[in-house]
Every structure is written in structure tokens, then in C-alpha cells.
Structure 1
């Protein structure tokens, strides 16, 4: 039997490209967006961005989009596209996730992540991990291989080990720039209060990566991954691993990934609120997302943004900060990346 399977595999590989069966993509008008990603929102200004960094960020966003797009056009689940895209961003130190995660107060890097499948309503998340190279993969394994939604700390890492996920020393995530950021914050706090205690500036709160994908079969999935807040203490957890706050997906409405001041996103249930407005008020994805970020979040005093995608390939990327790293790719493979607030 083993020899027969090997022979069949060899024959399949030898077939000409024309003989391969292409996945059937949903019959949507035009060239719909099938994947949207973000890399965080905040004080992102052209005046503060050098050309090399601008180019590197756009290149990383484009690489992530193409990685996810390859999964979509191959006919794989939307969660595969989300996972592929976010692993690219987790490995890039320009973003506050994975390798570029910010430091907690004790000079460790701790990660949070979540995923949700719009077709089934299933979700998975992890929080406070220190050794899992790709937290987005852990979140997915929590969804697929455990009876739970959210695992945290040592328990999450024990589960990751049992699942065969790649574990690395915490120093793998340490970067000089993030350490300088932490030391600067702590020095400012000591100068202002005489104590090293949390008094976060907005820039400390903004930094996450996220993706929402539309599969060839017309289903949605969303995922979010982050290093959290610079100088966080006491096991602080933001919105990224909280389903309904930082991540949400429902084929009947939309998929959402958020970035911003997590405490506001948790209290307001930002991601779920966008889907609810579509379901109950019959709003479009852009109407719902724009209202929630521009009105609900802003009036509460919160800052940040979201990416949202519906099952027709309509996308919305509102934010109430100066900029947000973001990008889309269409069914045909057309890539768009944006950073600043004046880019459309």
C-alpha cells in the first residue's frame, strides 16, 4: 500500500499544469479583496519615517499578503491564509508581535494571540506566552485541539509543547530598539513620579498584527497577534486574545481584527460590535466599522483601528490615529499597502 501511495503521488506531480484542477473561487463581482492585513495603528507620520523603514514595512505587508493569497488560490481554508500571513509579520521585528514584541516591565517579551473561524464560530486564543515562536499557530491549535478557547501563561506553553509547536528562548524576541523603548518609558515615569509605575502614553498601547481572509469557498476567518503594551505589569492582557474585542469572524457578517488601546476595545466589544451593527442594523461593513471606530471608540476616548472584510470581498480599514500599517490583496493578486492617514 505504501508503495502504491508513493507511485500515485509521483504521477500527480508529473502531470502537466493544465491537467491540475484549479480551486473554484466564489462568483463575486469584479476583483474582490480576499485578504486584508494590519501591522498596528498609532502616531505614524511621514515626518518620522525614513525611506528605508517605509519600504521595509510595505515589503513585509506585501510578503504577508502574498503568503496568505497563495493559500486562498490553492483552495485552502481561510484560517490557513490568516496563519500564513501572520507568521510573516510575527517574524519581522518592525511589528509588535513575535520577534518584534515589546518588553514588559521585567524585560521579558510576552505574547497574546487569537483566531476565529467564521464558518463554524469556533475560536482559540493564548495569552502571556514567552517561548512560542508563532503565537498565532498556538491560538489555532487551542481552537482545533483543545476543548477551550483561551489558554494562558505556563499552561499555554505546556499545551504548545504537547502540540509540537516551535519553542525558543525568550531572548529570541529581544531587539535593541524595543529595549530602548522600555528603558525610556521607565526613566520618564521615575522622573515624573519618583516611582516606576504605569502611566502609559498612547504610543505604548498601539502595536499588533492582524489578518482577515476570505476563502475560495466563501468563508471568513480572522486572527490577531501582539506583544502587548510596553512596560506592562501584573500579567496585563489587552484585547488581542479576547474574542469579540480584538478578533471576530462570522460568515453572515464579517471578519475583524483590531489594533489600539486594548482596554477600550475590551470594554466596548469593538470587533463584535461591528458584526452586530451589520446583523441588526443592516449596515455595510464599511458603515459599521467606520461608525464603531469613528464614533463609538472615539467618543469613549479610545484610539486605534480595525480591518474588516465581508463575504463579498468588501473591505474597511478605519482608524482614528495618524496612521495604520495596512494592506489588501485581491482575488487576482493585486496588492495595495498603506501606512499614513492620507493614503486611500
Structure 2
């Protein structure tokens, strides 16, 4: 498996030190890590940056109005789920059978309450259903038809499965099926199957943290495969000192319990956020054969955005109220200027 390590990773995992207090709202988002190269068309580049900016603006508006971190996380992720440029909601990839199966999770760090859903095919905004599971049920995770029945009972919007179809994702599946038949997958394409996902972490004015993640999973997935995104502690986790959302080859995030591991190092071992996130994402996961990225935030407003791929769609907004977005591995994401 091809791994990409660049000098930008040091920048991408830097923390914003000493520039916010626990009561200053901060929002960090990602739109997936993976094979993201500078040969992306100018139109696509512009559209992705606009969507990231819109998501930051929507989520930060919740924080500035005094709402909770979970509200900001939900609002930001809904924007990304509604945009076909990301592998979540409208832009979800196809399974081997030509369906869209969506997963999501959200967690409130102040209470350790969480909600997650997996394998749904008709829920327009999976993050809203995960939120409803957290808020309106005694459970943490619901799956498949049962999750959709719960959505209907609780007023979460359902759509015809055709809503999720985009020609770009359909053609990605056709290419993957052809490669399956030939049994000669291209290395970059094989790696790319495992990427996608959108996520957000937030710190609200009360000093509370939250995390959320939403995904269509991996292109050409089979047998009801579920990745790390809806698994609390693997792809999504928040407590009163740390919040993280991951993006990458999910099986490795599950095996390392990546999100929980990062947050335990921060809150229990007092490891700085940037170091904890970089150790797990850029060392432990690659040592097992996986790759990807993450966004993380601690109670003091420190941000980490480590990744070990060509790029990661990412952004943050803090005390100055200005959205900062970046795509490529060698691109300045603005964290250094905020120190």
C-alpha cells in the first residue's frame, strides 16, 4: 500500500496554542482524507472550498448564538451531507450491489451520551437520525430497517433511495467492479475505496465538546460492511476534555480504537493534543497497514488535523470568526498563524 508522508503533516497536526479560552467557541471539520491531488479541476476545487466554508459558517452560527457543541456539529455535517462532493448523504458511494448504505454517529462530551446509525438507505441526513437516537431513545446504535422505522416515528426525513445517486459515484462503482473482475486493482484506486467521510468537532461557550461523523462507507463494500464512523470510540468520540472525528481506512481505526485512544492520551496521560493525534493517526495506524486522517479538539481550544495521505478536506473557525479551509497536504491550513 502506498503511503504518503510530507512535511505538511507537521503543520497539519499543530495545535492552536494559547489563543482561546475554554469559553471561546471553536469548530473544526473534515470532508475526508485520501488520494486528493492538485490535478482536481478548478471548478471542483472551488466547489469543495465553498462547501467547507458554508459548513463552518453554519456550525459556527450555532455556537455564536449560545447553542451547544452538538448543535454546531449537527449543523456543519448536514451541510456536507447535502453536498454531492463528499462521501456522505447525497454524495455517498455505492455498495457492490449498487445501493447506498449510510452510517453516522454523534457524541456529547459533557454527558457521554451518544447516538449512531448504520446501514440506512432512505435517511436524507444520517447525522440527524444519529442525533435523534441520542436524544430520543435509550439506545446508542440502531441499524438498517429498524433505524429507518425509528426515523419515521421521530420525524427524521426519509427520501427515495434514488436521491443519493450521483453519476460520479456510479461510475466509481463500475470501475471498481471491473477491477474486481480483472483482479488487478490499481494501488491508488484500491486505497481510495476506503476513504470519504465527513465530520466535525466543536467546543461551545460553556466549555463542552462534541464530535460527529457521517459516511457512505467504502466504494464496492459488501456483506453489510460497517466501518469506524458510527462506532463510538473508533471513528467518533468526545468526552469533557477531547473530541475527535476520523477519516480513513476504517478497519484500522476500529482495531486501534483510534478516537478513544487519542482522547485518553489527552485526558488521562496529559499528552498534548497535537502529539496524541499524530502518534495514533501517523504512527500506530500506518504501522498496521492503514492510513487516513482526523480532526481533534481539546477543552482549551487546541486543534489537531493530522493525516498521512495526499490531502484531507479540512477547515476550522475560531475566535476571529473567519473560516479557514484547506485541501492538499502541502497547503497551509492556517493553524500556524493562529498560534
The two structures have a TM-score, normalised by structure 2, of 0.89
Aligned length: 311
Residue 131 of structure 1 aligns to a residue whose secondary structure is coil
| 1:222 counterpart (187, 204, 211) | 211
Check conservation: 1:222, 1:249, Cα contact below 8 A: yes
Alignment match, 2:84: 93
| 1:247 counterpart (215, 225, 236) | 236
| 2:131 counterpart (131, 140, 148) | 140
| In the alignment, structure 1 residue 38 sits paired with structure 2 residue 26 | no
| 2:310 counterpart (289, 313, 322) | 322
| In the alignment, structure 1 residue 332 sits paired with structure 2 residue 320 | yes
| 1:82 counterpart (73, 80, 88) | 73
| 2:224 counterpart (235, 238, 243) | 235
| In the alignment, structure 1 residue 312 sits paired with structure 2 residue 304 | no
For residue 28 of structure 1, report the CA deviation from its aligned partner: 3.7
Check conservation: 2:201, 2:244, Cα contact below 8 A: yes
Alignment match, 1:8: none
| 1:290 counterpart (271, 278, 289) | 278
| 2:40 counterpart (28, 44, 49) | 49
Check conservation: 2:22, 2:301, Cα contact below 8 A: no
* Larger relative contact order (Cα-Cα within 8 Å, sequence gap ≥ 6): 2
Q: Hey, which bits of structure 1, 4+ residues long, moved more than 3 A? A: 27-33
Return the alpha-carbon distance in structure 2 between the equivalents of residues 333 and 153 of structure 1: 39
| In the alignment, structure 1 residue 207 sits paired with structure 2 residue 196 | yes
The C-alpha deviation readout for 1:310-341, integer Å capped at 9, x for no partner, is 11111000001110000001133111001000
**What are structure 2's unaligned runs of at least 5 residues?**
1-18, 333-339
Residue 179 of structure 1 aligns to a residue whose secondary structure is helix
Alignment match, 2:244: 256
Check conservation: 1:37, 1:327, Cα contact below 8 A: yes
Residue 85 of structure 1 aligns to a residue whose secondary structure is helix
Return the alpha-carbon distance in structure 1 between the equivalents of residues 64 and 279 of structure 2: 32
Return the alpha-carbon distance in structure 2 between the equivalents of residues 188 and 28 of structure 1: 49
Compute the RMSD of aligned alpha carbons.
1.7
Return the alpha-carbon distance in structure 1 between the equivalents of residues 21 and 96 of structure 2: 50
Return the alpha-carbon distance in structure 2 between the equivalents of residues 140 and 192 of structure 1: 40
Alignment match, 1:302: 290
